[in-house]
Amino acid sequence: MSESRPALQIDMTKLDTVTPEELGERLSYLWRDRRPLYNVYSEALMLDYAPDYWKRSRWGFSLFGNPDRVAVVLLAIQNIHTYTMLGWETGIRNESDNMRRNGCTRAQLMELVMFTQLYGGMRGLGHTYHAIGHLLAVWGDPPSLPNDYSELVWPDGWAVDQDAFKCGLDLTTRELTDGDRKSLTDWYEKTIGYLPNSVKWGMRYHPEWVKVNRSKWEVVIKTLPKQVVPYLMLRHHTVTGNTEGLRESALLAKAWGITPELIVRGITCTANYFTNFEGLYAVHDALEGILDD
């Protein structure tokens, strides 16, 4: 399996040049996976025309992925979300296969897909179907892998907890009852310390939608750790630059035991791949004081 092969040796003492041996070994390394070849052609462009940039890129990539399997999984779940939002079907397929190679079940993969549907709508499902719909029926649960890759690995303390999502909605009626309003308000105040204005506005002007959307949010994650949700929210709101969304995400992450170090990694990983430094403006405003408390 690709995950068990020795790491590529790159001479980082010579950042401005790439030897023919480094170039050949890297392309061979990428080709052996037999996955979508975007890694081959994207890195080939850097290797051929910007070798100094490629070495610095590998330096940066090493902060967020191999050889740490936990980091690989955390990067993959965030990338599945973003690639779906962007409609990049090659990336969806590659990261889905990456998750599968690391022990992800089909059910777990579909939880990631359906959580993203809360943001990406039917367009997101369409891109996912075109990317992996023809493979889902034959992938099975999980693929044949070495014992240490038979299931996903997570940071310490990350665990399944379906009850953590539930606030106590009365699902015998579509109406947002007075009890529902109190239960939803209490959940937010207990978990993150306040009722977000987004929910407050929704309860005032379209309470029935708030109820049904919250009920979907409460059941979408069943076999993945609950911490996956705020970790994906951090990615989403860093990409969109949503200050209030970032604050809510970080507070939920802290409430559910995600360390400040992992909150930072989820954000800077996003900046590394999708927003550059400019993505950190909203982060600065949103997280002032949260990481230091």
pLDDT in tens, 88-105: 999 999 999 999 989 999
Which pLDDT score is estimated for 154? 97
Instruction: Kindly state whether residue 293 falls inside one of the protein's structural domains.
Output: no
Instruction: Kindly state whether residue 14 falls inside one of the protein's structural domains.
Output: yes
Least confident of 16-25, 46-55, 68-77, 198-207: 16-25
Which pLDDT score is estimated for 28? 83
Domain boundary among 43, 61, 79: 61
d(CA 199, CA 185): 9
**How many domains does the chain fold into?**
3
Q: What is the mean pLDDT of the chain?
A: 91
Instruction: Kindly state whether residue 26 falls inside one of the protein's structural domains.
Output: yes
Question: What residue numbers bound the domain in which 8 lies?
Answer: 2-61
DSSP assignment letter at 14:
-
Percent of the chain whose pLDDT exceeds 90: 71
pLDDT bucket at 34, cuts 50 / 70 / 90: low
Residue 275 sits in the same domain as residue 242? yes
Which pLDDT score is estimated for 253? 98
Confidence (pTM): 0.92
